[in-house]
Amino acid sequence: MLKSKLDRLIRIGRLSIVWPNGAVSHFGDVAAPAPKVVVRLRSFLAAAKIAAHPHLYLGEAYMNGELALEEGSVFDLLDLLGRNVALRQRPAGFLEALTRGPLALLQQHNSQRSAKRNVQRHYDFSERLYRSFLDSDLQYSCAYFARPDMTLDEAQAAKRRHIAGKLLLKAGQRVLDIGCGFGGLALHLARSAEVEVLGVTLSREQLDVARRRAREAGLDNRVRFELADYRALQGKFDRIVSVGMFEHVGKPQYPTFFATLARLLDQNGVALLHAIGRMRGPGLTSAWIRRHIFPGGYIPALSEVAPVIERSGLWLSDLEVLRLHYAETLRHWRQRFLANRASLADLYDDRFFRMWEFYLAASETSFRHGGFMVLQAQLTREIDAAPLTRDYMTDADRQASA
C-alpha cells in the first residue's frame, strides 16, 4: 500500500525505500541530481501504518526508530514530501468540510483547566532545552528577517522592534502581554518605552524564568509576571500584545478571546496579535503534532478569525502577512538544536531528540510548502486610535535599530 501511494505522490526529487526484507524501491526521478533521500523501514507493520495514516505514523516511526535515514536527514525527507504534496493541494470538498467542523471543535475545546494542562505539556521542559536552540533572549516565536543575512539574534531583535512600533507605546502606559513566554518581549517594551507591563503565562517554567530575568534586569518594579489565564484577567490596559499564544486558543474559544481583548483594552487602546495562520482555508491539526507536541493547538485560516473580530466590535486597523520569516526562524532553531544535542544527553533520551527534530523539521516544511504564514493583526476600539498611514511603523523600526 505504501509503495503504490509513493508511486503516485513522488514527482519531484528522488526517494528510495529499503524494505525490511532488504528489497529496495525507487520513487520519483531517479536521474535527478541530489539531494537524494534513502529511508530504511525496519518492519512491514510500520510501513502499513504509515500508508494508512501518514500524518500520525510517519513521525511516530521516526521517533521509535522504525524509520531511519540512510541518506539525507529527516528534514530532507519532509522537504521532499512537502514539495510533492504541494503539487496535489486542492480546496476541501463539501463532505470533507462538513465532517471537519465537528471534529475540529472537539479537538480544540480548551477550557481553562485543559488549556493549562496542554501548555504545561509543551512548555514546562528544562530551560536548558530552549537555550539549546533559541536566541539569547529566548524568543520562542517567529523572528523578523528585515535582511536575509541577519543572525537569529538580530532577527529576533528586529521582531521586538517591529511589534513595539505597531503598539505606539508612550511612557507610563499599562501593557498586557498575553502568553508572555520567557519574558523577553515584556522586558524589551519596558526598557524601550518606560511602560508598565503585566505578562501572563500558564507555564510554571516560563514564569520562573521570566521573573528571574526581571529581577536580574532591575525591572521587577515595572514588569510583573503571573501564572494566569487571560480569561480571568480584570482591569484596563492601554496596550495589549499577544505573540505565539493564539495557536493554543482553539476556534471554539475565539469569541471569548476577542471579547476579552475588547473588555480589557482601554477605549483609545491598541492591541497587536502575532499568530500563525494558514492560506489554504480551514484545516485540522496534524495528528502527530496534536498527540506529541501541541495538544489542543490549532492554526487558523484568516477566514476563521476575521468574522469573530468583526463581531467583537474591534477594528482590524492593520494586517501584515509574514510568509517565509518563520521558515527561516525554524531553520536556525533546527540547526542549533542538532548542533547542541550532546549537551542535553543527560536530560533526554534518543526518542525525545528524534521527536523534537521531527517537530522542528516538519514545522519548517509547513511554512515552506504547506501554506503556513504568520499574521500580525493590529486591533483598536476606536477608528482613530492609530495613525492613518503605516509610515510610523517603519519609522519606529529605523529609529530603534539606529
* CATH superfamily membership of 2-87: SCP2 sterol-binding domain (3.30.1050.10)
Domain range list for the chain? 2-87, 107-401
Q: Are 163 and 193 in contact (CB under 8 A)?
A: no
pLDDT at 30: 74
pLDDT at 258 over 60: yes
pLDDT band at 394 (very low <50, low <70, confident <90, very high): confident
In the chain, the percentage of residues whose pLDDT exceeds 70 is 91
Strands 24-28 vs 67-71: parallel, antiparallel or unpaired: unpaired
pLDDT tens sequence across 183-237: 999 999 999 999 999 999 999 999 999 999 999 999 999 999 999 999 999 999 9
pLDDT at 161 over 70: yes
pLDDT tens sequence across 345-362: 999 999 999 999 999 999
pLDDT at 75 over 80: yes
Angle at 358 between CA 291 and CA 50, to 5 degrees: 65
DSSP code per residue over 197-222: EEEEES-HHHHHHHHHHHHHHT-TTT
pLDDT at 48: 96
Q: Does this chain's domain 2-87 share its CATH topology with 107-401?
A: no
Q: Are 200 and 228 in contact (CB under 8 A)?
A: yes
pLDDT tens sequence across 169-183: 999 999 999 999 999
pLDDT at 49: 97
Q: Mean pLDDT across the stretch 138-155?
A: 97
Distances in whole angstroms, Cα of residue 232 to Cα of each of 25, 151, 178, 257, 264: 56, 38, 12, 11, 11
Higher pLDDT, 89 or 301: 301
Higher pLDDT, 180 or 104: 180
Q: In 125-151, which ranges are continuous DSSP H helix?
A: 127-131
To the nearest 10 degrees (0 to 180), the angle between helices 350-369 and 325-339 is 160
CATH of 107-401, one of 3.30.40.230, 3.40.50.150, 3.40.50.2300, 3.40.190.10: 3.40.50.150
